[in-house]
Structure 1
Amino acid sequence: MIDRLEMFLALAKARHFGRAAEAVGVTQPTLSAAIRQLEDQLGVMLVRRGSRFQGLTPEGERVRDWARRITGDMRAMKEELRAGREGLTGVLRLAVIPTALGAVTQLTTRFAEAHPKMRFSLRSATTTQLLSALEDHEVDAGIGYLDNEPLGRVVTVPLYSERYVAVLRADAALAGKARLRWADLSGADLCLLTPDMQNRRIIAGHLAAAGVEVAPKVETNSTIVLISHVLSSGWVTILPERAAAIFLEGLPLVARPITAPDAAHEIGLIAPWREPHTPLLAALLAEARRFDRD
């Protein structure tokens, strides 16, 4: 039954029989038969069918929630038994907001030292994508904002406070100031992350509050693209201090703290709500609580 529930979850996510079959590594007829067998076993119709997938029935929506819990518990049980035999092994999957990708290395490096059999899979994601991936068991945990937008029922551990700097070429006029106010950026040619990123929404709010029109020359989901435009065009970008630091050494760039207000937002580990925690999640939460303390 677990296999059928996993196929059903794949279909609920892909909303397409062919793509769902490909995701779980079976043929489309095999997946369709498994879904029908699950419906027969439960005595309800789960999927609206026509010439193509038309959505889940109300019963299908409820079964999807149960299926997530059941398959999650099965994975947790297998993980706990394996950890008891071998210690922590396998792949730790993390979804990380782009501006925290540089900072996550401290967490993964320390975790690898404590658990040398572990490997890591890191993916860049917006907060919305991060939470969706957690819900669908596509990642084990995420790193993102804790205090700006609702997160739902999750476990969180604060890691650090994000503060903002303007990154600009060393020969730019604004580079002569030791600090900048948000209002000082009025009239500057800005390049910023895309509006689907919480970082962009936070920064846009501070700029708007200071009376600065938010109409960037470039929008992108890549910090590398932002820095490339600062270097080539003399424009200005705004990044968290930790995210900016990795670009400053060896490049003709400076970072100026932005004040008035001196804004700060909490970044932390976001994990699924589960009691008891799996050995992997318990170890990760413990390492997160030690983050940056040494």
Structure 2
Amino acid sequence: GRTEAAGALRTGLSGRLRIGAVPTASGAVALLTGPFCAAHPLVTVEVRAGLRSRDVLGGVRDFELDAGITYLHRELGEEFRAVPLYEERYVLLTDAADSPAPGATATWQDASRLPLCLLDGAMEGRRVIDEVFAGAGLRAAPRLETDSVAALFAQVRAGRWASVVPYAWLHVFGVPPGMRAVPLTAPERTVSVGLVVSAREPAPVLARALTGLADGVDVAGALEHLPGEA
């Protein structure tokens, strides 16, 4: 709350906070760095937002990163402490001319039949999507893959491709002109995303300040609404 923020200002935390994140979590990172920088004006922040999940965890373990934001759906082990931030859910991004009426939903089977552009297979965000397809007895066979969120949006926006993307991306990028984002159901699947720091004591002071702040920020609520929505 405000009293902690005022206290932090008086203590004058300084230094450089290094955060690593999987590409799908860039919206969550921004929701934390804003209030963090406001509370700690002497701290600079470095965000590495294009990392693979294993590199996020490796960086936190080796103290090359103070904190990471990644998927919490696998066992992290006792060396990490995690603060859940939000549940990632998925939408089908299609050409508006091809897609159902507003308010409609699509199934993962519908998605599997489209010419898909997805993140590449080495990325945890893609593995999560593959697991949902597999759980429904389906297999996604994308004709185009990329390791970049921006490149994926550019491909879809140019036409011809559909994609399965986290709803939270729409919070950052919006829905490209001429496209429609349709919630994916059947199966309805979400995956937990959270802030990860080293469990070693004493915790580095900047990591401790960030986890304390994360406990009080409603990341899930903010990502639930697109900018401009009522």
Q: How would you bin the TM-score normalised by the shorter chain?
A: 0.7 to 0.9
1:196 is aligned to 122
Q: Could you list the runs of 4 or more consecutive aligned residues of structure 1 that deviate by over 6 angstroms after TM superposition?
A: none
Q: How big is the shift at 1:102?
A: 2.0
Say which of 67, 74, 82 aligns to 1:156: 82
- Measure the CA separation in 2 of the matches of 1:209 and 1:107: 33
TM superposition score normalised by structure 1: 0.67
Letter paired with 2:20: A
Find out whether 1:119 has 2:15 as its counterpart: no
Count of residue pairs brought into register by the alignment? 211
Q: Highest relative contact order (Cα 8 Å, sep 6+), 1 or 2?
A: 2
3-state SS in 1 of match to 2:152: helix
Q: Which amino acid aligns with 1:278?
A: P
Gaps of 5+ in 1: 1-82
Alignment of 1:130-279 (within 5 A): 130-147=56-73, 149-152=74-77, 153-174=79-100, 178-248=104-174, 251-279=177-205
Greater helix share, structure number: 1
SS state at 2:206 partner: helix
Work out whether residues 163 and 240 of structure 1, in 8 Å CA contact, stay in contact via their aligned partners in 2. Answer: yes
Cα deviations by residue, 1:80-125 (Å, 9 ceiling, x for unpaired):
xxx9x96211211000010001221110001111111111111121
- 2:194 aligned partner, one-letter code: G
Q: Deviations over 1:224-267 (max 9, x none)?
A: 11111111132111111111333335622221110111101111
Alignment-derived partner of residue 15 in structure 2: 90
- Deviation by residue 1:213-234 (Cα, 9 ceiling, x = unmatched): 3211111111111111111132
SS of the equivalent of 1:262 reads coil
TM-score (norm 2): 0.84
1:88–1:115 contact (8 Å) kept in structure 2: yes
Mapped to 2, the partners of 1:278 and 1:132 lie a distance apart of: 16
> Does the C-alpha gap of structure 1 residues 277 and 107 become closer, same or farther in structure 2, counting only changes over 3 Å?
same
SS of alignment partner, residue 245 of structure 1: helix
Contact 2:99 2:180 in 1 (8 A): no
Alpha-carbon distance change, 173 to 167 in structure 1, aligned in 2, over 3 angstroms: closer
Identical amino acids, percent of aligned pairs: 39
1:101 equivalent to 2:17? Answer no
* Greater mean alpha carbon deviation, residues 135-144 or residues 270-279: 270-279
Change (3 A) 1:221 1:102: same
Q: Secondary structure at the match of 2:158?
A: helix
Amino acid at match of 2:120: T
Structure 2 residues not aligned, in runs of 5+ = 1-7, 222-230
Q: Is the 8 A contact 1:162 1:264 kept in 2?
A: yes
2:27 is paired with a residue of what secondary structure?
coil
SS at match of 2:192: strand
Root-mean-square deviation (Å): 2.2
Question: Cα offset for 1:174?
Answer: 4.7
Whether the 8 Å contact between 1:185 and 1:212 is mirrored in structure 2 is no
Partners of 2:15 and 2:42 within 8 A in 1: yes
Which one is further off, 247-256 or 280-289?
Answer: 247-256
